[in-house]
Chain A
Amino acid sequence: SAVISQKPSRDICQRGTSLTIQCQVDSQVTMMFWYRQQPGQSLTLIATANQGSEATYESGFVIDKFPISRPNLTFSTLTVSNMSPEDSSIYLCSVDTTPTSYNEQFFGPGTRLTVL
């Protein structure tokens, strides 16, 4: 298992600004992911945070808007850049600790972002 913390837990930001969300894991993990969940909706995968290389983004998400850092095996950041009200959402990081046939991801508590 893994214990994941995220900072901040919530924030209210002005449009045009940027916010960096931190994700800390209590153990070294290979795979880290960032998701977005809009109010009342399902989760959408933003990108895979790769340690030592650039993140791998899903269709519809770009590095300029959502730059990601992964400096080591326990930490990652997601920046939401040049924010607009449409970016209001919950952002979650997750990790995969199991190299076995059971592919179980552990999720952080999420960061609730409101853009005014």
Chain B
Amino acid sequence: LAKTTQPISMDSYEGQEVNITCSHNNIATNDYITWYQQFPSQGPRFIIQGYKTKVTNEVASLFIPADRKSSTLSLPRVSLSDTAVYYCLVGDISFNKFYFGSGTKLNVKP
């Protein structure tokens, strides 16, 4: 099972682009990379998932280099409401199981 390493916390200001990098050196061939967001007193919420290169949706982009040993979640123009914990997960989606790492606490300041 691939272990993930993320920064414990990050600070940003409203309107800035935030990039959170996750390291997963032991990622397996069949593993996908998934990011979740969790607000206090709520369950986590799916943000984005990818296998390689770049994935973009309406809320974020996910950049995955060719060796797939790391990934970067990019949040464009953050607002105060983006203050949350962001989790990077790596795993074989065919098993449907998610193992959460320690997460990155993002604090967006006005």
Which chain A residues have a beta carbon within 8 Å of chain B's beta carbons?
4, 31, 33, 35, 42-45, 48, 92, 94, 96, 101-110
The contact of A42 among B42, B49, B103, by CB within 8 Å, is B103
Question: Which residue of B97, B99, B102 has the most chain A CB atoms within 10 A of its CB atom?
Answer: B97
The 8 sampled A-B contact pairs (Cβ below 8 Å) are: A35-B100, A42-B87, A43-B87, A44-B100, A45-B99, A103-B49, A106-B46, A107-B45
Interface of A is mostly: strand
* Residue pair A110, B34 in contact (C-beta under 8 Å): no
- Per-residue CB contact flags for chain B residues 90-104 toward chain A (1 = under 8 Å, else 0) read 000100111111110
Q: A65 vs B96: C-alpha distance in the bound complex, in angstroms?
A: 24
Instruction: State the CA gap A15–B34 with chains docked (Å).
Output: 37
- The number of chain B residues touching the other chain, given as a range, is 10 to 19
Specify the chain B residue showing the minimal Cβ separation from A48. Answer: B97
A42-B100 contact given A103-B49, A107-B45, CB 8 Å threshold = yes
A107 touches B43 (CB 8 A): yes
Q: Report Cα–Cα, A31/B44, bound state, in Å.
A: 17
Dominant secondary structure of chain B at its interface with chain A: loop
In the complex, chain B residues whose CB is within 8 Å of the CB of A108: 43
Assess the A110–B41 pair: CB atoms within 8 A: yes
CA distance A102 to B46 in the complex (A): 10
Is A103 in contact with B103, judged by CB distance below 8 angstroms? no
Given A33-B97, A35-B100, A105-B98, 19 extra CB contacts under 8 A: A33-B96, A42-B102, A43-B44, A45-B99, A45-B100, A48-B97, A101-B32, A101-B93, A103-B32, A103-B34, A103-B49, A104-B49, A105-B44, A106-B46, A107-B42, A107-B43, A107-B44, A109-B41, A110-B43
| Known contacts A42-B87, A42-B103, A103-B32: A109-B96 contact under CB 8 Å | no
Chain B 53-84 interface residues, beta-carbon cutoff 8 Å to A: none
B32 near A110: Cβ-Cβ < 8 Å: no
What's the Cα separation between A33 and B101 when bound, in Å? 17
Q: Which residue of B lies closest to A112 (CB)?
A: B41
Q: Which residues of B contact A42 (CB under 8 A)?
A: 87, 100-103
